[in-house]
Structure 1
Amino acid sequence: MPVREPGGPGINVDELMAVDVHTHVEVSKDGHGSLSPHLFGASEQYFGSHERPTIAEMAAYYRARRMAAVVFTVDAEHATGHPRISNQEIAESCAEHADVLIPFASVDPWKGRAGVREAVRLVTEHGVRGFKFHPAIQGFSPDDRMAYPLYEAIEELGAIALFHTGQTGIGAGVPGGAGIRLKYGNPMLVDDVAADFPNLKIILAHPSFPWQDEALAVAVHKPTVYIDLSGWSPKYFPPQLVRYANTLLKDKVLFGSDYPVISPDRWLADFDRLDIKPEVRPRILKDNAVRLLGLGS
């Protein structure tokens, strides 16, 4: 399948201080939220109140900090009944700010063949570089064969699959957790995906509480699996995550903030105090992502 050149015009890698591989679009141009008001209210109680910037505002924020950012939403229409933010809208808005923003998409795997067709179109016509999965919210196990046609298309397109792993704050405090099942966040469920699609580039998002050791094992064992550090302040990282980031996984750990829930400013300030080797810091903040995303090619 023909694929647009990676990276997008205008990104000057040499001028970047960092690449944030995990940011969320929480509101569309017409004001539609990525979560239902009920879930968003619960999320604010869990994470703290925060602004919901537009894509243009996100671009200005990252441009001022000499950073690039991967941008996406979550499509969980099947499980939640809440209409998603348009992937095409996000991709087109990112194209207007291609010096700092890198579009990812999210396609609910329950959409079957229609979802596969959409994924192909998003990559080939709109320059999307990867796809965000949130199995707990989308209501599926990552190793469910139902999702395999979508993984196959993403692998063939040369795009990236980014999976939420670990606990989620979405639904926390809501009766029954709003029906969200935490078991789908176990990184070992992604190990099957990595084994069955050996050329699929995968990011395990977040320190994977309570399955951190499982995430480390998968990333060490499977050559195409990476870990991003989003969603947590670095001062709370488990010691084994820091140890592996400094050693065996120094080329496979990525800076991610989870903006706007956690700001890059806060994350980086805490990262400065983390016991990371000086030669490893630039790999985590920028170099590993540049290589994975193909920004330097």
Structure 2
Amino acid sequence: MQAIDVWAQQPNSHFLSQPYFESLRRWVGSDLSDIPDDFLLGCMDKANVSQAILSAWYGPQGPLISNEQVLATIEAHPGRFYGLASADLRDPVAAVQTLRKYVNDHGFKGLRIVQWLWELPCSHALYYPLLAACVELNVPICLQVGHTGPLLSSESGRPAHIERIALDFPDLKIVGGHIGYPWHVEMIAVATKFPNVYIDTSAYVPKRYPRELVEYMKGHGRHKVMFGSNFPMITPDVALGQLDLLELDDEVKELFLTGNAKRVFGLT
């Protein structure tokens, strides 16, 4: 069965050299120098991952992975990648213009904001122009939930912050990446309460999925959870290597691997 990876990034040396990724370098046992596109594509092929959604990253010091880099990777490998734009929260007018440009002109499928880079929860006023633009463009806002692996504060990733924006923007599609651990039960509750809130499993391998999440996937949350790897932290083949441990039936597996991603991100 094919899969779509909803959280990956094709990193560059600037991104990988950030001091807060020291924990990532320890986990993977590598200095994570520049990683060629072919390596990611090879990992995808091993796991039958047909497509991946690549994230741009923007933080207070500027772009870590630019929208232009993501676009170049997409154009170099037709049919394999989609993009998520990112922008500077502190310049709301320019940020909205950037999001519109990459969605309307280049087919990007949503917006990525990594809250811990800004140490601001998603309910902060600086997010709101971009959230309104996501509704207008009918694309998701993709956020991080749970503890941060990088050495920065986790407070902005508490799932409870999502409740505020889900109330203020009932038509906004919201994807909480990285499961939400150790607040994963709260993340499941928020996704259950709001029809447009979803969870992706990036940064975790199946044997580390919390029991509550697996039960949710098999039950009333079968339309709510999507596969993600968080490449390069975890490669897609490793992220899917233990999938059988979950004992998912074919319907749930198809929704988890492809169906939910196609619906939420509007993929063909």
TM beyond 0.5: yes
Q: What is the CA distance between 1:63 and its match in structure 2?
A: 5.0
Write the mapping of 1:1-297 to structure 2, written as runs, cut at 5 A.
Answer: 17-27=2-12, 32-49=13-30, 50=32, 52-55=34-37, 57-59=39-41, 61-63=43-45, 65-76=48-59, 78=60, 81=61, 83-171=63-151, 180-296=152-268
- CA RMSD of superposed structures (Å): 2.0
Q: Which amino acid in the other structure matches residue 44 of structure 2?
A: Y
Contact 1:131 1:161 in 2 (8 A): yes
Q: Is the Cα–Cα contact under 8 Å of residues 52 and 260 in structure 1 kept in the other structure?
A: no
Aligned residues: 266
- CA–CA distance in 1 between the matches of 2:132 and 2:145? 21
Identity of aligned residues (%): 30
Following TM superposition, where does structure 1 have runs of at least 4 consecutive aligned residues deviating by more than 6 angstroms?
none
- The answer to whether the 8 Å contact 1:226/1:252 transfers is yes
Name stretches of at least 5 consecutive residues in structure 2 with no aligned partner: none
1:20 shift after superposition: 0.7
Kindly provide the CA deviation profile for residues 108-134 of structure 1, in whole angstroms up to 9, marking residues without a partner as x.
322322211111111112211111111
Ranges in structure 1 where 5+ consecutive residues have no aligned partner: 1-15, 172-179
For residues 5-28 of structure 1, what are the alpha-carbon distances to aligned partners after superposition, in whole Å with 9 as ceiling and x for unaligned? xxxxxxxxxxx711010101211x
- SS of the aligned residue for 2:44 comes to helix
Residues in 2 aligned to 1:48 and 1:142: alpha-carbon distance in whole angstroms? 32
In structure 2, relative to structure 1, the CA distance for the partners of 1:40 and 1:82 (3 Å cut) is farther
Q: CA deviation at 1:266?
A: 1.4
Q: 1:66 to 1:186 in 2, by over 3 A?
A: closer
Q: Taking structure 1 as reference, are residues 89 and 167 closer, same or farther at Cα in structure 2, changes over 3 Å only?
A: same
1:56 CA drift (Å): 5.4
SS at match of 1:98: coil
Aligned to 1:163, the other structure's residue is in SS state: strand
Distance 1:104 1:219 in 2: 21
Alpha-carbon distance, 1:254 to partner: 0.3
Describe the SS at the equivalent of 2:99.
helix
Kindly provide the amino acid, as one letter, of the partner of residue 151 in structure 1: L
For 1:233 and 1:247, locate their aligned partners in 2 and report how far apart those are by CA, in whole Å: 20
State the secondary structure of the residue aligned to 1:84. Answer: strand
